[in-house]
Structure 1
Amino acid sequence: MAFGIEVIGKLFLSVFRIVAVGFIGYYLYKLVKQNYTFGFIACISLIFAGAIGNIIDSIFYGVVFDHSFGQVATFMPEGGGYASWLHGKVVDMFYFPLIQTVLPGWVPLWGGEEFVFFRPIFNLADSAICVGVFLLLLFYRHTLSTSLSKEK
């Protein structure tokens, strides 16, 4: 799911994403019709756009590219891609290790080991989802709970 963490099979995850985007799209449509604030709609839109980006990757990437382990992926390889429809991997391309060091020997348990602060590799879609959720929780927690209770 986010940041390249896989828990369940690819097909289930791809179908789950498609269903979730359908619900988020419907929810977004209802929010616009009910004239919610621009900021709230923008947060939901970020989540929606990020989910669509991950769906596009998981549907098409495995079919039109070969694997990229230790090489640059080839577009439309002769033998076909590395996976079938809905089984592709989401492309993660950003890696920003803010601190990369070796912990001092006096640190209990981890002394002398490599330490990397912010190790996840992520993509723009993951970022859109995380920023949308963070802003919702930070600024629109009450609006979110009110809008969800109206849906029931």
Structure 2
Amino acid sequence: MIAETVCSAVSAAGLGIAAVTAYRKRFLAAARIAAYALIPVGLVLTGLVEWLADTAFSPTAWAGFGVLGIAWLLFATTRVVERRRGGTRKERRETRAAARRDAVAPTASAPSLGAGPPSAPAARPAGRGSGKARADEDFSDIEAILKKHGI
């Protein structure tokens, strides 16, 4: 009952301001003010104000809003965690399977210098030079990866 009275008073005041504005020959502004002033009366006539007043003072309604808030919070939290992990479990499994299928450098184990002469492999000299040759062979994989990425 009090809410309806307040809405009626606000509408009456708004219509009074609209009348003063129209008296000053600002008819467009007066019409806009009158439209805004009629909204509270329309809300009272539809029963929305009574429903809002009953809801505002109802502990059950506030408990319902609390449950809705918790549900929204759970949805938002799970979405953030899902984004940080990179998708759902199924999506992560599919991504890993695709990564295994598409190796980073599938030809990295092939010789990077091409096929040499068909002669027998040369014997490695003993001593310091053999360690350097082995290190060069290890870097062939890295060179293949860098070439694949254009570096």
In the superposition, the TM-score normalised over structure 1's length comes to 0.32
Greater helix share, 1 or 2? 2
Larger-Rg structure: 2
Q: Which has the higher contact order (CA 8 A, sep 6+)?
A: 1
Q: Which has the higher strand share?
A: 1
